[in-house]
């Protein structure tokens, strides 16, 4: 994923949908770790007193390389053989990780779907 304009639109949509649902004192810091192909990781930190901001890091070879750098609890051990399809979501303490597989889209519609899974998770039957 090399097109920063597409990444920026994706992040702006996440911010637009999520921010009104947070308490006024909660800030949102978003860090995007793009992979060379389509995938990547979007880390959304939510914290009281945090200033709203976002940044895009340098491009990594694969999503697995990103997950070796970004602390997370979703996948542990040797993750070299793990592949990701679609958008996988991990909610940990004060942050949300969107792990986007190499087959995912970064459109505004995809951002709506991704944040919708957090805000309106499917009900268990």
pTM of the model: 0.89
Dist CA 111 CA 103 (whole Å): 15
Domain that holds residue 111: 4-119
Domain assignment present for residue 40? The answer is: yes
Domain assignment present for residue 107? The answer is: yes
Domain assignment present for residue 125? The answer is: no
Contact 98, 44 (CB under 8 A): yes
pLDDT computed for residue 98 by the predictor = 94
pLDDT in tens, 59-118: 999 888 898 888 877 777 777 777 788 898 999 889 999 999 888 888 889 999 999 989
Average of pLDDT values for 12-39? 92
Domain assignment present for residue 75? The answer is: yes
Domain assignment present for residue 124? The answer is: no
Total domains, the chain? 1
Which tops the pLDDT comparison, 120 or 65? 65
pLDDT computed for residue 102 by the predictor = 81
């Amino acid at each position: 994923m090399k097109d920063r304009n597409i990444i920026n639109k994706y992040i702006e949509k996440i911010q637009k949908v999520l921010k009104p649902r947070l308490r006024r004192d909660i800030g949102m810091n978003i860090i995007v770790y793009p992979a060379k192909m389509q995938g990547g990781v979007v880390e959304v930190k939510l914290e009281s007193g945090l200033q709203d901001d976002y940044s895009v890091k340098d491009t990594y070879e694969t999503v697995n390389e990103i997950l070796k750098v970004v602390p997370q609890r979703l996948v542990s051990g040797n993750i070299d053989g793990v592949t990701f399809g679609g958008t996988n979501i991990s909610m940990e303490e004060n942050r949300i990780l969107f792990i986007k597989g190499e087959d995912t889209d970064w459109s505004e519609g995809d951002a709506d779907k991704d944040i919708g899974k957090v805000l309106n998770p499917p009900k268990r039957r």
